[in-house]
Amino acid sequence: MSLSSATSAPPAAGGQFFVRIVGAAAFAHLLNDLIQAMLPSIYPLLKTRFGLSFGEIGMIALTYQITASLLQPWIGFYTDKHPKPYLLPCGMGVTLLGIVLLATAGSYPMLLLASAVFGVGSATFHPEASRVARMASGGRFGTAQSTFQVGGNTGSAIGPLITALVVVPQGQQAVAWFMAAALLGIWVLLRLTGWARTHGQVQMKGLARAQQAGLSRPEIMRAVAVICVLMFAKFVYIASFTNYFTFYLMQRFGLDVQQSQIFLFVFLGSVALGTFAGGPVGDRIGRKAVIWVSFLGVAPFALALPYANLFWTGVLASIVGLVMSSAFAALVVYAQEAVPGRVGLVSGLMFGLMFGIGGLGAAALGHLADTHGIVWVYGVISFLPLLGVVTGALPEGRKRVG
C-alpha cells in the first residue's frame, strides 16, 4: 500500500492524523539518527586507533554538530518560501557519503571532514522531515512531533548497540555496514516526498485555520531567551551522556567498551520513551507544564547520580533520560505555535540549536575532562537541570484562531 493511501486516526480539530505518514517520518528519523549515533559510539575506537585526546574527540563532535546547527535554520527559512520536498532523500544521500568517508578515513583531518558531511546530511533532513510530520498531524502537533522525535531517539539508542556488536569487534571499516540503513532511508524518504508533493499543501492550509495566534514581538524575544537557556541546560547535560557516558563508566567502574555501550543503550532508550510521552501529554495539559516537570522533576536524580554505585547509576541515568527528554517536543511545538507559518525556520532553529549547543557542550566537556577528569565533569553538570526555573518566564500561549 502506498503512503498516499495512509490510514489515519480519528480526525482532530485541524483534520486527519495520518498514522502512516507520521510513522514513516518517524522511521526515517530512526534510520537517520541511528547512523548519526554511530559516530560518537566509535569515539573510544577512534581514540585508540588515532591516539586522540578528549579535546580532539570533542572537536570531532563540535565539527559535526556545528555544521548541522548552522545550516538547519537557513534550510528551513528557504523551504518555508520555496518548498523543496526532494531535499529529504538528497540529505540522506549526503549522509551515505559521510559513512563512506568515515569508514575509509586514515587521518584526523579526514575524520573531521567525515563528521562535517554527517552534519550536512542531518541539517538537510530535520527541518523538512519535521514539516512533513506536522502536515500529517491533523492538529495534534505535540503527538506528531513526539512521534517523529521518538523515532530519532530510538535510532540514537539502537545505534550504539549495533556499533558495539558490529563495528567495535571488526574495526573502523565495519562502519560501511551502516550504508544499508542509509539506502533504506533514501527509499522511505522518496515515498514520503511523493505524499508531501501530492497532499502536503492541502493539509497545511487546513491546519492554518486551527493554529494558535502567534506571540507579539516582545513576547517572542522573551520566549527565545528562555528557550535558549532551557536548551542549553538540556542538551549540554544530554551531550555529557551521548559523548562521554561510556568513558565515565569505564573510568569509574572499570567496564569495557561493550559493557559501557549497553548502559548507554539503556539511557538512550529511556530518552526515546520520555520523548514519546512528552508530546501527547503536552497536547492535553499544555507545553509549559511538561517543561516544568521535565527539568525540576529530574533535578534530584541528576544531583544524586555522580555519587551512586554502578547499579544505581544505571537506574538514575534511566530516570534522568526518561523525564528530561519529555521537554523537547513541547519546546519545538511551543516555538512553532509562537511563530505561525514558519515551520521550517522554527524547526531548523530548534534542531540546529540542539546540535549547536550539544556540539559546543561536547567540546567544552572534552577539554574539562582532559583537565579535571571525566568523573569531576559529571559532578559539575549535575546542577544543570536546576536552570529549569526560568520556565516561569515563558509567555502563555494565545487562544486558537477561528
Note whether residue 159 is domain-resident.
yes
205-247 pLDDT, tens digit per residue, is 554 444 555 567 788 778 778 888 888 888 888 888 888 888 8
Q: Positive or negative, the Cα torsion across 343, 345, 346, 348?
A: positive
User: Residue 22: CB partners within 8 Å, gap ≥ 6?
Assistant: 133, 136, 137, 144, 147, 148
354 is a domain residue: yes
Q: What domain range includes position 259?
A: 11-393
**Rounded Cα distance, 34 and 200, in Å:** 27
Nearest to 160 by CA among 57, 244, 277: 244
In a domain, 311, yes or no: yes
Domain count, the chain: 1
Q: Which residue has the cell 511545538?
A: 333
Q: Is residue 187 part of a domain?
A: yes
Task: Give Cα separations from 316 to 166, 247, 263 (angstroms).
Answer: 28, 17, 11
Residue 295 domain flag: yes
Supply 133's cell numbers: 510530520
Question: Does residue 103 lie within any of the structural domains?
Answer: yes
Query: Distance (Å, rounded) from C-alpha 33 to C-alpha 255?
Result: 26
Grid cell locating 97: 557519503
Q: Please name the residue ranges forming H helices in 163-256.
A: 168-170, 179-195, 201-208, 217-253
Instruction: Give me the residue label for grid cell 555519587.
Output: 307
What's 274's domain CATH number?
A: 1.20.1250.20
Residue 9, strand partner residues: 17
Give the pLDDT of the chain (402 residues) as one tens digit per residue.
Answer: 344 444 333 344 446 778 888 899 999 999 998 998 888 888 888 888 898 888 888 888 888 877 877 777 777 777 777 777 788 899 899 999 999 999 999 899 999 999 999 889 988 888 788 778 878 877 677 778 788 887 887 887 788 888 888 888 888 889 999 999 999 999 999 999 888 877 655 555 554 444 555 567 788 778 778 888 888 888 888 888 888 888 899 999 988 877 888 888 888 788 878 877 777 777 777 778 888 888 888 899 999 999 999 999 999 999 998 888 887 777 777 777 776 666 666 666 666 666 667 667 877 888 898 889 989 999 999 999 998 888 888 887 554 444
- Give the Cα separation of 330 and 290 in Å (integer): 7
Is residue 385 situated within a structural domain? yes
